[in-house]
Amino acid sequence: MDPIRIAVVGVGKIARDQHLPAIAGNRAFSLAATVSPHDPGVPEVPHLESLEQLLEDGPAVDAVALCTPPQVRYGLAAMALKRGIHVFLEKPPGATLAEVAALESRADKVGATLFAAWHSRFAAGVAPARAWLAERRIERVEITWREDVRVWHPGQAWIWEPGGLGVFDPGINALSIVTHILPRPFFLKTATLEIPANRAAPIAADMHFCDTGGAAIHMDLDWRQTGPQSWDIIVETDAGTLKLSNGGAVLSLPSGTEHAEDHEYPGLYARFATLIRSGRSDVDVDPLRLVADAFLRGKRATTEAFID
């Protein structure tokens, strides 16, 4: 079977650190091109400045991975789908729920695969955590996602603009895990969003959810943490406490702790290949819907200006 010819659109840190190595390590794909108006691309791979240029004059591709900021992703995805090209959407899948729904409808009409890729769901501890929780009664959940924005997003002005999500850019990773592992749906009750005086998106958020069985879920997001970073999910159940740490890579159960190597992006590309080969899409917007609810229902509190 011929490999899927894929182009990476947007060659920034996430593309270089995760997408390009994952593609190189998966025989189902061949890297046909890279696209960026700012980055020179990689040696011996055709590089173009725009997706339009690629589709008109570049090498033929079967799929694109969109690693651009979410604010511009809809137009790129729609352009690719118009040609029947399969589309991998980095998280979040779009700047709004409505545009993702429009893309899903378009993909269905043209018979192309659309994949909303939540990489944290492929962290080593997530699948066994989901299986263990399926038979448990959830009593309480505590999510702590605190990191240093200057380390992880230096100089990325787009992330502070409307549609860039601010602290929800990492926070949505936690929500992608929790919506996947908990056996019941949950919804927002209250939220406070701390927004720097000179920015349009929050730097911190305190959120309270409730699942349909009445279990309380608390989420603490903060982009101002220095030193050790915190990416932890604690779930108290009738059978003891489960903890996912290091972004889902380490799982602790009452019976012990499991560690495994990172395989998030290799897992994503294996999933994308399977979807393409089977003619299906996977567009789960539950994490993005919860973030949208936070902006809809959350209280705004102005905090000190943030200087990168």
In the numeric block, the tokens 């920034």 are attached to 12
Torsion angles phi and psi, residue 155, rounded to 5: 70, 15
Decide if 91 is catalytic. yes
Inter-helix orientation angle 126-133/168-181, to 10°: 40
CA proximity to 224, closest of 300, 294, 307, 120: 307
Out of 13, 82, 91, 189, which one is annotated catalytic? 91
- The Cα 178–Cα 169 span in angstroms is 15
- The Cα 201–Cα 159 span in angstroms is 8
What does the angle CA 247 – CA 93 – CA 2 come to, to the nearest 5 degrees? 95
Q: Is 200 left (phi over 0), alpha (psi -120 to 50) or beta?
A: alpha
Residues designated as active site: 91
